[in-house]
Each structure stands twice: as structure tokens, then as C-alpha cells.
Copies of this chain bind each other. A is one copy, B any other.
Amino acid sequence: VNRITITRAVMVANRVLRHCRGMAFREDTAVRPAAPDTYTATMSDRWDSVGGMPNGGYLLAVASRAIGNRLGRPDPVTVSGLFLRRGRHGPAMLRTEVLKSGKRFAFGSALLTQDGQPTVHAHAAFGDLGGERQQLFSAGSAPVLPDPEHCVDILGDSHIPGVSIIDRVEYRMPEMPGWVKGAPDGDPSAELWLRLRDGDTVDVYALPMVVDCMMPVVVDLGLSSTTVELTVHVRARPAPGWLACRVATRYVAGGLHEEDVEMWDSRGMLVAQSRQLAMLLG
């Protein structure tokens, strides 16, 4: 067995793995070192939201991956992203900076550029979310929903041109929401189940994506919006399985609204809290 044979075997194995269960997210957010502070990535067309452009959360997940690689810590604990312009499919460069490497947290930033144009700026604190996790206080709890099998796969039969993310993420609700039928119900909040359709576990890097992969909650008001800034706190490493999600906006004014998301894993543990500031469109 010589070197070339091994290399070929690895290439074939990689090609097979690519078509296996649960590789899409890891593959499409992979970053490759190009210089001590620079990574390259390829923005896939599998995570597009309205307009056929890469979803903002997907871009933020790639930026988080670059920061995490640079810092060498396992878990993004808090990530904030600024969305500077629309992302595109194809190559991206990520210039990273180590801001501080401390005992409990390491801090870093990444500027994701495409064709030399800054697209997303992210900064983050990374740490280690493994080990014991003592809960001292809780004033909230996971959404109470019928089992996923008794809920509707709300976009399972939909084809929205350009919106490839609905082929990768599954959303289940007790009933079909009004906006899907063109009749928004006027209440910009929802509780739903969410998972990756390919069976992959939503990991700490996928959380910054999935908190942003639902339809903007203002669809319930017949409005649409786009993200200006998104902050996500990863509160624990998610267990495999469905995530129970809660999304709401409370204040839509001056052309802006916040959108708050909570995600709870199959153990009933809060795994992510996010808030974004979004700008109304149209």
C-alpha cells in the first residue's frame, strides 16, 4: 500500500461520506487556513433564504467556524454578527483576529469578504461548554408542543424558488400557520419544532445558523425584513434530536424590529438564546 493508494482511498471515502447522513452542514461551513490569520471557505447554494442568497445565519456560522479555528477553543459562547451586504455563492475569505486568549474565554473576530467586499463582520467569545452545568435559576421553560409526529411539516410540500434552506431544515408546527396560506394571523410569535432534514445533530456551530433560518416572524404581520445584527448566546451543547423553538418580536417601529429566539433541546435544556435587529423591507 503506497502513499498514492492511501490518498486515493481517502478521496473516495470523502466522496462517499459527502453523500451520507449529516455531512452537509459541516461540509458547507468548512474553513481552510490560507495564512496565519486568514481562512477561505466556499459558500454553498444549499442554505439560501429569500432572494436565493445564502442565509445570514449560515454566513455567521462560517464566520464562527473561522474564529473557533483561530482561537482553538471548542464552543462559541456568544457570537454577534453584523450583516454588511448580501452574501453570494462561491468563494469567501475570512480575516480573523485574536482579541484575547484568557483562562475561561478566548475572544476573536472575523471579517468575511466575497470578491473583496466585506459581507459579514463577527466577533465572539469562545469557551468550553462541556462538563457539569448547574442551573441556579429559571423563569422560563421549553415550549409545550404536541409530539413532532402530530405536527405539520409546514414547508415540506412547499417549493419557494431560490429558498433551498427549506430542503435542509424541517419546521413542524401544531397547525399550518396563516402566512403559509397567505393569511397572516397578526401575532408575530410562534412555537415550533426544528431539525436538520438529513438527520445531522444541530451542534454549537449550527445554532448561529438555525436561530436565523426561520421565516422573519413579521410574516405574521404580512411584512418581511432582513437582519442587520444578530447575537446568539450558546447556553449548552445541544443533545441530538428535535429542537423546541420559540420566536417572537415585540416592537416593530421606525422600520426596525427585534426578533428573539429560544431553542431547547430534546433533554429540555435551553441551548440557545438569540436576538436580532432586523430592518423591514418594501
Kindly provide the distance from the CB of A97 to the nearest chain B CB, expressed in whole angstroms.
8
Residues of A within 8 A of B (CB): 77-78, 80, 82, 84-85, 99-100, 102, 104-105, 107, 109, 111, 118, 121, 123-125, 129, 133-140, 188-189, 218, 221, 223, 228-229, 231, 233, 235-236, 248-258, 270, 273, 275, 277, 279-280
Oligomer: number of copies:
2
How many angstroms from the CA of A250 to the CA of B275 in the assembled complex?
Answer: 15
Closest B residue, CB atoms, query A133: B254
Query: How far does the Cβ of A231 sit from chain B's closest Cβ, in whole Å?
Result: 5
- Kindly identify which residue among B99, B138, B188 contacts A250, using a CB–CB cutoff of 8 Å: B138
Cβ of A82 and Cβ of B107 under 8 Å apart? yes
The residues of B that contact A231 with a CB separation of less than 8 Å are 80, 229, 231, 275
For A254, list chain B residues within 8 Å (CB). Answer: 129, 133-135, 235-236
Distance in angstroms from A32 CB to nearest chain B CB is 23
Provide the residues of chain B in CB contact with A140, threshold 8 Å: 250-251
A135 to B80, CA, bound (A): 26
Which of these, B80, B105, B253, contacts A236 with CB under 8 Å?
Answer: B253
Residues of B within 8 A of A100 (CB): 84-85, 118
Of B133, B236, B253, B257, the contact of A133 (CB 8 Å cutoff) = B253
Bound-complex Cα distance A137 to B223 (A) = 11
Q: Which residues of B contact A99 (CB under 8 A)?
A: 82, 84, 111, 118, 121
CB-defined contacts of A133 to chain B, threshold 8 Å: 253-254
Interchain nearest-CB distance for A86 vs B (Å): 11
